[in-house]
Amino acid sequence: MKTITKILLLILFCVSAVDVNAQNFYRSRVSGNWTTPGTWELSTNNGSTWQTSTTTYPTSTAGAVTIQSTHNVTLPADSVVSIDQLVLAINSTITLNASSSMLLKDGAGTDLTMNSGSVITGSGTLKTDADGIAIEQTSTSCFISTPLRIGGNTSASNVNSPYRFDLRGTLTVDTLKTLTSSAGSFTFVAKGDVVNKGTIAGGNSSSAFSMRGSNFVNTGTINVYNFLFDTTTIISGAGDWASAEISINASGEVLLASNVSIKSTTFSILTGGILNPNTFILTFNGTLATRTFRVYGGGLSTSSGFIHTIGNVAIDLRNSSTFDSRLTIVNGVMTSRCETSPFISYFYNQVTVDAGATFRVDAGSYTAYMEGNFLNNGTVTGGNSSSAFPCQRRWCHKQWLGRCF
């Protein structure tokens, strides 16, 4: 009988500790544990008056919750709290201890707002746990350094210039779920490792995702309009890279850890950027629409690994660029061009044209120079009478099986 009584009292305490009244607002009173009622002040009249909470702490069933300036509220190890309408005031902190989880639910308005200097940190997990979640940062000085898991369709933005959402922890996007960099000139900046099993999207053509972490595993879909590599990143996975624009910027280097297929409209290596296939195959897939692979002057595609093209792919090797990867035109038409004077594309490694495939020098005064072996089992052609393909012994393989113009 005593045991049953203890269990009933424990259940009663747990029920009373969790606030189920959506009219109750909460704000932190002091720094302390989230699940300790005395950490909080409670308002039953929309914030007109406040009193110290003696029996309850906030969850997603309560009203708006604010972590006040300079306070640090901690989720104890192994605890789980559901919350929405959460606001971090200036210079406030939430710490998620080991194995703890904060689950963001979808409520009225923005579900998580972070103001200047606010931080969510710790080794626990911040998880969006419902569709329709909105996370908003309001300053460059606020950030999330705890692991972020997208378990529900989520939009993220920083509403002040330069409009960069700052995630310093790892990012996981669950299967069938979508992380959206909100419409507008918003950029989601990921500074930790990323595992994408779902979709990384953008609200419109001004949205971007900046990868500044060491590893990116993609088994889902990436279709945010602008995808930027801004540091050295190892990529792998059989997912779709379908952004309109993918760029390796001046501070970026991309290394493959598996074969990867690119379906983006344009893939660019900017000045100072490096693409290292790293013994693997990077395939540009132009089966459904023409894709463009562009290397700007000072950009580098290294000799370690392979570039394959299928379907219709244009390769634009600008003046002073270095394209040293081995190229195979598997099928379809690969169109070579250099859109900067003197309009000469240099292929420094072996080029292979498979049977049924075509190497085409684009119409105009474009020239394609082969500095490595050229193995042609298909067709070499030009767009018009101004196109050129210098066919000299030191550039062309002795077994010329196709047609050279």
Tens of pLDDT along 275-332? 999 999 999 999 999 999 999 999 999 999 999 999 999 999 999 999 999 999 999 9
pLDDT at 10 over 60: no
Q: Tell which wins on pLDDT, 1 or 141.
A: 141
Residue 168 CA to residue 120 CA, distance in Å, equals 10
* Structural domain contains residue 355: no
The closest alpha carbon to 197, from 169, 173, 171, belongs to: 173
In a domain, 377, yes or no: no
Q: How confident is the model at residue 5 (pLDDT cuts 50, 70, 90)?
A: very low
Identify any residues that bridge with 285 across adjacent strands, giving them in sequence order. 310
Work out the pLDDT band at 12, boundaries 50, 70, 90: very low
Is it the case that residue 378 has pLDDT exceeding 70? yes
pLDDT of residue 55: 95
Supply the pTM of this predicted model: 0.91
Give me the percent of the chain exceeding a pLDDT of 90. Answer: 85
The tally of domains found in the chain comes to 1
pLDDT, position 156: 98
37-93 pLDDT tens trace: 999 999 999 999 999 999 999 999 999 999 999 999 999 999 999 999 999 999 999
Q: Give me the pLDDT at residue 22, please.
A: 56
Q: Which carries the bigger pLDDT value, residue 144 or residue 20?
A: 144
Element holding 210 (H helix, E strand): strand 208-211
Residue 35 belongs to a domain: yes
Q: Which domain holds residue 66?
A: 1-146
What's the pLDDT at 397?
A: 44
What is the percentage of the chain residues whose pLDDT exceeds 70? 91
3-state secondary structure of 62: coil
Task: Of 4-13, 158-167, 191-200, give the lowest mean pLDDT range.
Answer: 4-13
Confidence (pLDDT) at 14: 43
Query: Residue 396 pLDDT more than 80?
Result: no
Q: Does the pLDDT at position 9 exceed 60?
A: no
Residue 341, both tokens: 């004077």
Within-domain flag for 178: no
Number of helices (H) and strands (E) in the chain: give both, helices first: 1, 46
Token pair of 214 as six digits: 């060491």
Answer yes or no: is 54 within a domain: yes
Q: Render pLDDT for 97-153 as a digit per residue (tens, 0 to 9).
A: 999 999 999 988 899 999 999 999 999 999 999 999 999 999 999 999 999 999 999
Residue 403 has a pLDDT of 39
pLDDT of residue 13: 42
On whether residue 298 sits in a domain, the answer given is no
State whether the Cα torsion 33-37-39-40 is positive or negative. Answer: positive
Residue 45 domain-assigned (yes or no): yes
Q: Locate tokens 């030191």: which residue?
A: 394
- Whether residue 128 lies inside any domain: the answer is yes
